[in-house]
Amino acid sequence: MQNKLSTIALEFMKAGLTGDIVSIPEAYKEYVEVFDVPEKPDNWEFMYRNRQEEIIVPVSGGLDSTICYYIAKMSGKSVRAFYVDMGQEYAWKEKDALVNLGIDFSVLADVRSDRTGWNERFSKAWKHILPARNFYILSLLAEQAEGPATLYFGVLDGEIKERLGGDKSKEFLRMLTHDLARMHPFPVTLELPIQYLTKASEIEYFLGLAEVHKLEEFGINNKQEAIDLLTKTVTCFDGTAKQCGRCQACLRRYLAFEYNGIKLDDFDVPVMENTKEFQMKYLDAMTLALRDNDFSQYSKIRCEQDLHVLKNNPCK
Ligand SMILES: [Zn+2]
């Protein structure tokens, strides 16, 4: 079912044709009077359903969306997770990771099927940066709402740009919040559950939850089991290797775990030896950011955390 006013209209129409009981969301009660006409079938009745509020979570098998998924689960509300396959060449390993993580998810919308040449352009021109990717995923997921819903968007501390930041900018979030709230029949609320966390902080947060037994109902009984789960997450832009050990995503993942004292060894090649270009970039930019108090690119906490690890693991 899609989150559109026509869904409600169709329910009236179908029930009118078959003479069934019409079950509509409570919020649309007023429409009942409109159809209380002499021609209506004798047994045409109305029921009102008050659907449980649900949380919709986009998942990718990566660290951020996995943490979001568990935050949603802890709310006790009904949670549905979706993976959007846009034909990206690393989609296979993200879906593999979701299965390994035990996340119950549905796959949506493979856009390759209706856009000729999309996949070639996608893999050659855009790599991992696809314009309007978040816009597409979030609006598509909002349309899956089966009742009043909250939609999670896993942006981290420092990732929301003041301006000119595409679909992670404040301006974009303002417009999206406005449009989702006007959706029919179910308004959708946008939430950013990890916006005050960095990658390193979200690992720390999750391990802390495990230590105080907040994750037991999901089968995670202690800190080690939480570590075992999080190390199953995958984030890498390489189309062939699971974790290539050469890309920026691999470095970020390594730094975040290392900050928490967890040594990852699931990279194809040693990550610190093969990402020196990115390490130099971080060292320079983050040192400058701290010196100039300019956190428009990286948040202050991220600078401190990443520099802490980089300085203890100097590039040779
Ligand atoms: Zn990689």
Cα-to-centroid distance, 203 and ligand 1 (Å) = 19
Q: Of 5, 45, 43, 44, which Cα lies nearest the Cα of 27?
A: 5
Sign of the CA dihedral running 268, 271, 277, 281: positive
Cα-to-centroid distance, 250 and ligand 1 (Å) = 4
Cα-to-centroid distance, 267 and ligand 1 (Å) = 8
Phi and psi at 22, nearest 5°, equal -95, 125
pTM: predicted TM-score of the whole model, two decimal places: 0.87
pLDDT tens series, the chain, 316 aa: 577 888 888 888 887 777 777 777 777 778 888 887 888 777 777 777 766 789 999 999 999 999 999 999 999 999 999 999 887 778 889 999 999 999 999 999 766 555 556 566 665 555 556 778 899 999 999 999 988 899 999 999 988 887 667 888 899 999 999 999 998 888 899 999 999 999 999 999 999 999 999 999 999 999 999 999 999 999 998 888 899 999 999 999 999 999 999 999 999 999 999 999 999 999 999 999 999 999 988 999 999 999 999 999 765 4
Cα-to-centroid distance, 25 and ligand 1 (Å) = 46
Residues 6+ positions from 9 with CB-CB distance below 8 Å: none
- The DSSP-derived string for 78-123 is EEEEEEE----TTHHHHHHHHHHHT--EEEE--GGGGSTTHHHHII
Q: Which amino acid is at 293?
A: N
Residues 6+ positions from 174 with CB-CB distance below 8 Å: none
Instruction: Give the separation between CA 58 and CA 69, rounded to whole angstroms.
Output: 8
Cα-to-centroid distance, 247 and ligand 1 (Å) = 4
Instruction: Give the separation between CA 76 and CA 64, rounded to whole angstroms.
Output: 20
Cα-to-centroid distance, 164 and ligand 1 (Å) = 27
Q: Which domains does the chain have, with CATH numbers?
A: 5-49 (no CATH), 54-191 (3.40.50.620), 199-312 (no CATH)
Q: Of 192, 80, 94, 185, which Cα lies nearest the Cα of 134?
A: 192
The neighbourhood of ligand 1, an ion, using CB within 5 A, equals 236, 238, 244, 247, 250
Cα-to-centroid distance, 245 and ligand 1 (Å) = 5
Cα-to-centroid distance, 182 and ligand 1 (Å) = 39
